[in-house]
Each structure stands twice: as structure tokens, then as C-alpha cells.
Amino acid sequence: MRCLEAKERIDTRMDGWCLWSEFSWMVTLSVLAWEGVQLFHLTRRYLIHAYAPYPPFTSYGAWAVVTGCTDGIGLSYAKELARHGMKIALISRNPDKLETVAWQIEKEFGVETRAIQADFTKLDIYEGIKEKLAGLDVGILVNNVGMATRRSPFLDVPDGGKTYQDVLLVNNMSTVRMTHVVLPGMVEKRKGIIINVSSISDISPVPLTATYSATKAFIYSLSRSLAYEYKNNGILVHQVDPWYVYTKMMYKLLLPTGLMAPTPDIFVRSDLRSITKVHVTSGYWLHDIVREVARFVDFIAPTAATNIVGWAIKKDSERVMQKRAELKQQKADAKTT
């Protein structure tokens, strides 16, 4: 009898081990299949970003509207779309920079421009923008204007209440209101492209830039929803989640340019090749790899992902502060010699 009971216990343990073994194999195969699919998509995106022909942008309309367009990524979108024959409506805060950029684009590319001065921290600007865009055949809207906060805990941002309000107005309200201004004309003619420039930080929470990353998650959700709502109206909503691009913001972080951090011109040319083929992208093939890794880590271990990002941001902030102190000391030493 005891031998039979012992045999039954052994059989039960063996059955349990077999079940766990089968489960482990299923999980392993599922992960490998998922990674295989991602590898296929990443390879496809590399080929698109590097070699795909540019779409016929002017077939969507004669004009492109670009916000936050006097430097960085926004300026590169304006210039590249002008290179492809589009007239450019430039919307930004600084009137002097606006006029300079408008003149440069007209001179270099021979296209008509329209400069519209607007401060996106204000709510009373949109009726004026709507009036100045009235009558234009707008084919592309680039919602690029953005604002970041200092890397620090939520309560340590100087004048936090006003700063956070401005970040929400610039990053989120501008995207909603500009889309609301331009989209009706696109729906009426049943074609148009909306490019929403967000950030790779929309994938998971980013400690020490909590409000900024939350605004980017808002843009991601808005873009996906609008893409579904208006796909049958001929509207293409293209979400762009850049990682590091060598803009003024990156310069302040004392980071070098390079293969992982392309110039705005290289980045925008890469993204525009994908505009009709990929609805959500980081715009640049190496950034797509970073994005997929971040998505995978956030999917399997969301808390760990947040902790890792928070630690990385903290360490990088310490690096920036140390580097700035060294540069300040070097300048002081140079003055004394």
C-alpha cells in the first residue's frame, strides 16, 4: 500500500513538472515569435526610412501648416516640405525669427510662405489663426510645437503651477485646437495628413519629467483615436515619437550628435519617407529599435521599467550638472589667466 501511495505521489509530481515544462515552452515560443515579428517590422521600417520614395505631398493640398517652426525639428519639416513644392504656413511665437525663416524658405525653395505669430501658452490665439488660414488648401498639418520642464521632482519645478499649465497648453491644447482648425477642410476634400510630433517618453511613465511625459502620452492616445475616427475620410494621422535628436534641447543636455542622435534634417527626411506607410514611428530606424525595446520592457515589467527610467534620468541629470560645473570652472580659470 505504501509503495502504491509513493508511486502516486511521484506520478503527481511528474505530471506537475510536465505541465510546468509545457508552460515554459509555450512562454518561450511566444516570446520568440513576438521577437520575430518585431524583427520583421524593424527591418521593414529600416528599409522604409532609408529607401522608400517620398509621397507626392502636394497631392494632399498646396499648403503645409507647421507649428514651432523657427528651429529644430519644426524648421526641418518646414524646409523639407518646401523642398517638395509645398507652400508653408509658419506658426511660432517670435515674430523676428518667423520673418527670417519665411524669407529663407522663399529664397531657397521658391515657394510662398505665410508667417503667423502666436504664443501657444495663450488660449485666445486660435480664432486669429483660423482667420489667417482661411482659404488655404491645407494638405498637411505638423503639430510640432512643444515645451519641456526641468528634470526634477514634481514639486521642485520653479513656479510649478504656471509652468505645468503652460506645458499642458503648448503640448496638448495646441495639438487639439490646431487639429480642430485644420481638420474640417481636410474632411471636406477627403484627404490630408496630420503629423503629431510627440516623444519616446509616451511609452511609459518618466519620473523627474512626470508632467512632460504625461503630455506626450496624451498625444499618443489622441493620434491613435483620430486615426481610427477619420480613416474612412481619407485622413492619415502620423504619430512621431523621437528619441534624441540634436536640437537646442539636446544641446542643453550636453549630449553629442551622432548615429543615435541625428540632426533634425536627417531625422525629418527619414520620417517623411515613412509618412504614408507607418502610422506610429520614432521617425528614425535606430530610434525605432530603442522604442521597441522600451515597449517590451514596459510590457513584461512595467514597475521595473519605470524604476530603470527614473534611475537613468537621475544619473544623467547628475552628469549634466557636473559637466556644467566643470565648464563654468574652465571659463573662470580662463579669465584669470
DSSP 123: S
Q: CB of 58 within 8 A of CB of 64?
A: no
Transcribe 99-120 into DSSP letters: HHHHHHHHHHH---EEEEE--T
Residue corresponding to grid cell 521632482: 153
Single out the catalytic residue among 212, 220, 230, 244: 212
- How far apart are the C-alpha atoms of 328 and 72, rounded to whole Å? 26
Contacts of 50 (CB under 8 A, 6+ apart): 270, 273, 285
DSSP SS3 for 48: helix
DSSP SS3 for 125: coil
Torsion sign (Cα): 90, 95, 97, 99: positive
**What residue type is assigned to position 270 of the chain?**
S
**What residue type is assigned to position 200 of the chain?**
I
For residue 212, indicate whether it is catalytic.
yes
Residues noted as catalytic: 212
